A and B are shown apart, each in its own frame.
Chain A
């Protein structure tokens, strides 16, 4: 296999990963843009979505054994989305809203607590073992030029692209989108203009959660595994992606996600050669962190953002 082939393959893998990161990063960035809070529990919402989908799929398979894979996947997503949205709304109402005007540390610490609670809930419901997420779509490799893909991977890219376009349209042209942008700009003035900030904030959390649910189902499909701790690493990386693109900036999150996916895939693919075998691909997770540090030190506003990290 020529080195160009490897390169194209890694680029493709990077796009797949990147699309997922972009979806999750959108949740972080929208919430941060509107209430200046890093929703630490976002990764765990993803995890709950994946596990809910798993149970729903198992249930559906039990009720009607002959269902084709893509229907099961649809069932999984349709089950995961309302659960995640509801969860997210409850969390926002109970844990974040009372602390909206509290000093900086308080919402962050609460978010950490919520994250732990979600993991505990998942442990109680689904146990602590790693569960296998079934292979729903055909695993046969599809060759696109020099790269090999599967239906699942192509679905990830396609679905993410569709969702991101839809979100951009929503934020740019709909009333809710206008309200969201107004509230992110200045909540008080938006309220004077007739926007209900509580409702808009709740809607933002809900949309982010729905995206996380879809991302969770696809993440679980890609890696064929689901367990209570699966949300931590994707959450952290997606946050890095959001910061990379400029936190608070929606196209930034999409760009950041894809870029981070590419960096990770190419890095993991080539690190063996670059470091002469000292570091292997098991250091893959370190890339996201290095990217985060570099971005925050050199360009804290991110690629597309105007907000600066050290606002007084």
Chain B
């Protein structure tokens, strides 16, 4: 049993205090970041998006042990679904749709997000169904191929019917609108101003918190236990009566749902989607986040996601000028540096700390005795 439930049971006040601190930090962070520069707020918003993606991939890879290298395909599906539902693309290219929606297609987010999630989940099950009996390496390659196939289709489905607008992508996507509040304008609040980026940050953080809640509840549920059982030993799990096929499909589907939701938000945020944003490299980036942080451990995954989305930006601001000073020119530009960082993270972590920076506490090992606790520490399993 993980130590977290114990401590919140025995020391609810400290848990409450911790929650309050975290909530305060999250609320105040974009205001601080804005003072440093709007680019940092954008980084924070993307960090929240990546947290959602990482949590989704964590369900597939961390909980269920299914190495999925094509995860970004679900992100793409979510993004394109939102793009198609909330942009002039369909009305411009299909006269029948233009007739049916004379005011343009502007599906509100309470419909388009669930739709994006549902379609992504559908694709998840579609991917999962033929690969159920494949083990690690083959599964990885097939999912890799699937991810790239999605990108190829997105790139080429502009004839004979123009569904995705090919390499040019879909533009003029509606921003998020909640009631009368449009997220692409700044908003005055309590005498101050919240920029569009800050609004998006709050939205994404709220969504990420919901995702975290879902993941935590899943982890301790029967489904979560079933995932971990098939991760550890599929045959034993089957012998215990777990329906391996359905559980695996559930893992793919749920993981894909997270991807779909983040993808929809990404589309609204950027206002523009193209197949370029959904390459294999993105899948690998999300994978490195969960590997670095701690595969299968939710706090670790969040840590990994935040680290690997913030650190490259940080490097961009420091290494660039440093290189100019040392060499007089940029030897390694920031894109390359970013990739280098991900590659090094993967290799070094696997060699020296394969469980990640913040791994899950191991089964059957007693947590350290709480000094002020009235509960006896658990005996070794």
Contact = CB atoms under 8 A, between A and B. Distances in A.
Partners in one complex: yes
B141 A38 contact: yes
Contacts, number: 125
Interface in B126-164: 130-131, 133-138, 140-142, 144-146, 148-149, 152, 156, 159-160
A113 B130 CA distance: 27
Contact of A309 (B134, B160, B288): B134
A136 B35 CA distance: 58
Contacts of B24: none
Interface in B354-374: 354
Contact of B130 (A282, A293, A310): A293
Interface in A193-241: 232, 236, 239-240
Given A95-B347, A309-B134, A310-B135, A236 B144 contact: yes
B261 to A, nearest CB: 26
Interface residues of B, number: 48
B67 interface: yes
21 contacts: A98-B351, A105-B136, A108-B137, A109-B287, A109-B350, A112-B284, A112-B346, A113-B342, A113-B344, A114-B347, A116-B284, A117-B343, A117-B344, A120-B339, A128-B336, A239-B141, A286-B152, A288-B145, A293-B142, A297-B130, A312-B234
B363 to A, nearest CB: 15
Interface string A277-291: 110101101101100
Contacts of B160: 277-278
B29 interface: no
Contact of A124 (B135, B146, B332): B332
A288 B135 CA distance: 20
B340 interface: yes
Interface of B: 61, 65, 67, 69, 130-131, 133-138, 140-142, 144-146, 148-149, 152, 156, 159-160, 234-235, 280-281, 284, 287-288, 291, 295, 331-332, 335-336, 339-340, 342-347, 350-351, 354
A309 B67 CA distance: 15
B339 to A, nearest CB: 5
A180 to B, nearest CB: 20
A144 interface: no
Given A117-B344, A124-B332, A286-B149, A104 B142 contact: no
A102 interface: yes
Nearest to B337: A120
Interface in A81-116: 95, 98-99, 102, 104-110, 112-116
A119 interface: yes
Given A236-B141, A286-B152, A114 B135 contact: no
A223 B48 CA distance: 42
A116 B280 CA distance: 11
A123 B339 contact: yes
A104 B137 contact: yes
Contacts of A98: 351
Contacts of B284: 112, 116
A243 interface: yes
A310 B234 CA distance: 11
A137 interface: no
B141 A110 contact: no
Nearest to B233: A312
A102 B349 CA distance: 13
B351 A283 contact: no
A107 B351 CA distance: 9
A124 B343 contact: no
Given A289-B148, A309-B135, 12 more contacts: A105-B61, A106-B350, A108-B67, A108-B136, A110-B346, A113-B343, A116-B340, A116-B346, A120-B339, A123-B339, A128-B335, A128-B336
A292 interface: yes
Contacts of A105: 61, 65, 67, 136, 295
A109 B339 contact: no
A296 interface: yes
A104 to B, nearest CB: 4
B343 A116 contact: yes
A283 B134 contact: no
A96 to B, nearest CB: 10
Given A104-B135, A312-B235, A285 B346 contact: no
Interface string A241-265: 0010000000000000000000000
B287 A117 contact: no
Contacts of A107: 350
A120 to B, nearest CB: 4
A285 B144 CA distance: 13
A102 B287 CA distance: 18
A283 B156 contact: yes
Contact of B142 (A232, A283, A296): A296
Interface in A293-308: 293, 296-297, 300
Given A113-B347, A283-B156, A292 B145 contact: yes
A240 B138 CA distance: 10
B343 A282 contact: no
A123 B135 contact: no
A199 to B, nearest CB: 22
Contacts of B133: 300, 309-310
A38 B137 CA distance: 7
The 6 A-B pairs with the shortest beta carbon distances in the complex, nearest first, are A113-B346, A116-B343, A113-B347, A117-B343, A289-B145, A104-B136
Contacts of A106: 350, 354
Nearest to B354: A106
A126 B273 CA distance: 30
A285 B339 contact: no
A89 to B, nearest CB: 16
A113 B345 contact: yes
A311 B152 contact: no
Contacts of A232: 280
A116 B136 contact: no
